[in-house]
Amino acid sequence: MPDGSGLERAPQTTQSVEEKIRVLVAEAQDPRNRDPKRTLELADSALALIGEREDLLKEKADALNAKANALWALSDYPRALDCHQQSLATYERLDDKRGVARALNNIGIVYANLADYASALERYQKSLAMYEQLGDKDGVARALNNIGIVYADLADYASALESFQKSLAMREQLGDKQGVAAALNNIGIVYADLADYASALRHFQKSLATFEQVGDKHGVAAALIGIGEAHRSMGQVEEAKAALTAALELCRQLGARLDEANACLGLGRLYARREEKTRD
């Protein structure tokens, strides 16, 4: 009905509860959202609206997964584990195999953070088997990488190398340069742990070049630290100094405190070694 101005009113649209929920879940899962507290708010708002509704189980599972990831980022591992397990149970009710595989992988990550490596490996291996059944190469590569990290933490370096190399091969098949760079860096770390510094250096250098190609400055910093440490271990002082100094400068630009500390530690070891050599 026209109003007094002679203009026709635009019909008002009301967003349904279901639409609100889907928007909230999508925002909570958006990888561009790097604020875990914001993610937690979005996921909790979605879950409050969903309640016990049986027709929104997929949205519930996704919201629980997003909430668990936010709690993990906040280092609240017990609550993260609880949310991931609820998410897993919901994906299982839906017979959503991809969701189940993802939840198992995420549960494995939490167990690894809790240093419960047996439980972490069990979940990663179940996740790997499901991703293989689904033909999901990206999921397979992620599970293999996580398995490799657990084996490295357990000092089972042969198994770690095998897992990382399989993950690398899968990333190369996918043309995933970011994943290739990360796998190369992980292989370099294992070779360094094995005191095979020449092999470590070769993999760190390949990782550096690939991180530079994709513009990942955090990855560049990590690779530079690996290169510096490998040179230091081989007694190549000037090369080590150049790499570690470059890493330190980049870490300070990025505000990457942990990597900055690692670069400082490497330089400290380098200067300590140089001082020892100059003493009588």
Residue 61 in domain: no
Residue 196 in any domain: the answer is yes
Query: Angle 186-123-110 (CA atoms, 0-180°, nearest 5)?
Result: 70
Burial tier of 78 (Cβ tally within 10 Å: 0-12, 13-18, 19+): exposed
The rounded percent of the chain whose pLDDT value lies above 70 is 92
Task: Specify the CATH number for the domain of residue 228.
Answer: 1.25.40.10
Question: How far apart are alpha carbons 129 and 92 in whole angstroms?
Answer: 16
What pLDDT, on a 0 to 100 scale, did the predictor assign at position 275?
A: 56
Q: Which two tokens stand for residue 48?
A: 């409050």
Q: What is the pLDDT of residue 280?
A: 46
Residue 110 has pLDDT above 50, yes or no: yes
Give the type of residue at 36. P
What is the total residue count of the chain?
280
Q: What is the pLDDT of residues 204-262, one digit of tens each?
A: 999 999 999 999 999 999 999 999 999 999 999 999 999 999 999 999 999 989 999 99
pTM above 0.95, yes or no: no
Number of domains composing the chain: 1
At residue 4, does pLDDT exceed 70? no
Q: Which DSSP category does 6 fall into? A: S
Residue 235 located in a structural domain: yes
Q: Which helix (H) or strand (E) holds 116?
A: none
More confident residue, 4 or 18: 18
Asked whether residue 209 is domain-assigned, the answer is yes
The pLDDT tens digits for 43-55 are 999 999 999 999 9
Residue 253 in any domain: the answer is yes
Two structure tokens written together for 161: 């190398």
Cα 99 from Cα 112, distance rounded (Å) = 20
Query: What pLDDT digit, counting tens, does each position of 143-202 carry?
Result: 999 999 999 999 999 999 999 999 999 999 999 999 999 999 999 999 999 999 999 999
Residue 103 lies in a domain: no
Q: Which of 241, 221, 152 is nearest to 181 (CA)?
A: 221
Write out the residue range of the structural domain in which residue 244 sits: 176-280
Look at residue 276 in the predicted model and tell me its pLDDT.
53
Asked whether residue 219 is assigned to any structural domain, the reply reads yes
Residue 204 domain-assigned (yes or no) = yes
Residue 24: which of 50, 6, 5, 1 has the closest Cα? Answer: 50
Q: CA 210, CA 216: separation in Å to the nearest integer?
A: 9
